[in-house]
Structure 1
Amino acid sequence: MIGTMLKTSQYEFVKGLVFLGLLLLICSTNRLTAQHRPVKFEHLSSSDGLSQNKVFDITQDHQGFIWIATEDGLNRYDGFNFKIFKNIPGNSSSLFYNGINCVYVSKDGLLWTGGQNGGLGRFDAQSETFVNFLHDAQNPGAIAENFVVSISEDERGNLWIATKNNGFNYFKRGTRQFIHSREGMRAIVKFSLFFINIHLMSLLRHPRG
């Protein structure tokens, strides 16, 4: 009985070593392959169709388009050509302001923009128009100011909007209301810890990335 148990344990141990060896071999092969792949960069500028050479942010949407925020317009790049979105005077469905600080794609695939003086923008891919959420001093549920510097998202799909002078705004998408935080550095610490916690929870739930 004991002999059989020892043989079984030895077999399991050897099988584990073989599996570990194969795993290390695969990882080493992938690393060597990656090291020998040449990395090439292509530099794009206004001469290639970019609206402006001062770029503040870049992201990629779920369809593979590259979105580039510049000081003079939002650019969509398909790998060959640029399509530029700018403010159209008199058209409330266009960008409110051409200076774009940040672009963000939420989990549901929507593209959001943060403007230098344009508040928060939401892009409608079907109509290629924008819904602009702007500061309104008479509306306590509006965004605190129109200068947006960063956009992030929590697990519930609500957005955290960092503004230049008025702290963070929590945008509850279900109610389209903004909750303001003007606690300065304390709010920044809370914001940072909040997203560190979200990231750690995501890693624990999805350890393979």
Structure 2
Amino acid sequence: MKKVITRTVTRDFNFPSPSIIGKDGTIWIGTDKVGILLINPNGMLSDYFTEENGLESNDVWGITEDSKGRIWLGTYRGINIYDPQKERLYLLKFPGGSDVNNFRQIYQIGEDLLFVGMARGFSLIDLKTNTATFYNSQNSLGITTIFTGKKTQDGRIWMGSGSGILVFDPQANTLKNLKQSNGLSSDIVFVIKEDRKGQIWVCSDSGVHLFDSKGESMRTIDKSTGLMTDYTSMLFESSKGEIIIGGDVGFSILDPEQKTITHVSAKSGISLRRSTT
């Protein structure tokens, strides 16, 4: 394993720093007030992409790569778009001042459709038509910052915020809020993922909340039921169908077929205890 010492400050609390591996293999990592860290996996050197060479803000919250290979960077003051073919950096800002240009995570939720979390709601950017639609959740639901978004198989968009989950139905043009007051494990939502069965997993600071394919609440998985920690900020599904959940002290591997949880931490390496779910 190659180690690259960068001395970069990334977020180690609340929402983790964004990162992607580009199509050319370059690793892009958002940092806390020092811009973008670029790492070439084939070499030992790293570099920075900051305000000094055109970045709108050094605090980068969102990174994604679109179908044309362009890198989208969500910052506190706008969205930068880097085109590697032209070696040019562009700036996208919405009309309305700083309040509507305070961006968070960016995700590609369709071949030519981007989801952008914002401090006053969320936006959908259609790359085919070069149009962006802004949805102001602060006015409609009193919810300000939206951090993450996931389009599920039924076409709805599930979003995580500091005020629970928002579920947007583009066909019906409706927006629903799920909060701790109506059964959610926590109002602080870090990650939303859909597994191959259509089940929706929601990571929070109070464990993982699981919904079925219809969007109905099923159960909460937390430290009391087998996880290493209640604080969960990362989740993905393995090729074997295992659900891997990362937290502040390590990660847990859930095997739905065997109904077991395996814990992995830096302290104990890869030899860990098992518990049944």
TM-score bracket for this pair, using the shorter chain length:
0.5 to 0.7
AA of the residue aligned to 1:78: D
Taking the TM superposition and a 5 Å limit, the aligned residue runs for 1:57-76 are 57-62=105-110, 64-76=112-124
Structure 1 residue 65: Cα displacement: 2.7
1:195 corresponding residue in structure 2: 237
AA of the residue aligned to 1:100: I
Q: Provide Cα deviations, 1:159-206, integer angstroms capped at 9, x if missing partner.
A: 11011x211111123361141122186268x99787234579xxxxxx
TM-score in terms of structure 2 length: 0.47
TM-score in terms of structure 1 length: 0.60
Structure 1 residue 149: Cα displacement: 0.9
Question: Which ranges of 4 or more aligned residues in structure 1 deviate by more than 6 Å?
Answer: 190-194
Whether 1:179 and 2:219 are equivalent positions in the alignment is yes
2:136 corresponding residue in structure 1: 86
Whether 1:144 and 2:185 are equivalent positions in the alignment is yes
Q: Provide Cα deviations, 1:46-81, integer angstroms capped at 9, x if missing partner.
A: 458886333221123337332210122111223434
AA of the residue aligned to 2:132: F
Taking the TM superposition and a 5 Å limit, the aligned residue runs for 1:41-56 are 41-46=89-94, 52-56=100-104
Query: Would the alpha carbon gap of residues 95 and 127 (structure 1) be closer, same or farther in structure 2, given more than 3 Å must change?
Result: farther
Query: Would the alpha carbon gap of residues 75 and 81 (structure 1) be closer, same or farther in structure 2, given more than 3 Å must change?
Result: same
Q: Distance in 2 between matches of 1:191 and 1:53?
A: 25
SS state at 2:137 partner: coil
- Comparing 148-157 and 176-185, the one that deviates more: 176-185
2:33 corresponding residue in structure 1: none
1:170 corresponding residue in structure 2: 210
AA of the residue aligned to 1:131: K
Structure 1 residue 104: Cα displacement: 0.9
Q: Provide Cα deviations, 1:144-170, integer angstroms capped at 9, x if missing partner.
A: 11111111111110111011x211111
RMSD (Å), alpha carbons: 3.7
1:121 corresponding residue in structure 2: 166
AA of the residue aligned to 1:130: L
Q: Provide Cα deviations, 1:125-154, integer angstroms capped at 9, x if missing partner.
A: 123221222212xx6xx2111111111111
Larger radius of gyration: 1
Query: What runs of 5+ residues in structure 1 fail to find an aligned partner?
Result: 1-33, 201-209
Structure 1 residue 87: Cα displacement: 2.8
More strand by share: 2
Structure 1 residue 102: Cα displacement: 0.4
Query: What runs of 5+ residues in structure 2 fail to find an aligned partner?
Result: 1-68, 70-83, 243-277
More helix by share: 1
Q: Distance in 1 between matches of 2:161 and 2:200?
A: 15
Q: Distance in 2 between matches of 1:62 and 1:172?
A: 22
Query: Would the alpha carbon gap of residues 154 and 62 (structure 1) be closer, same or farther in structure 2, given more than 3 Å must change?
Result: same
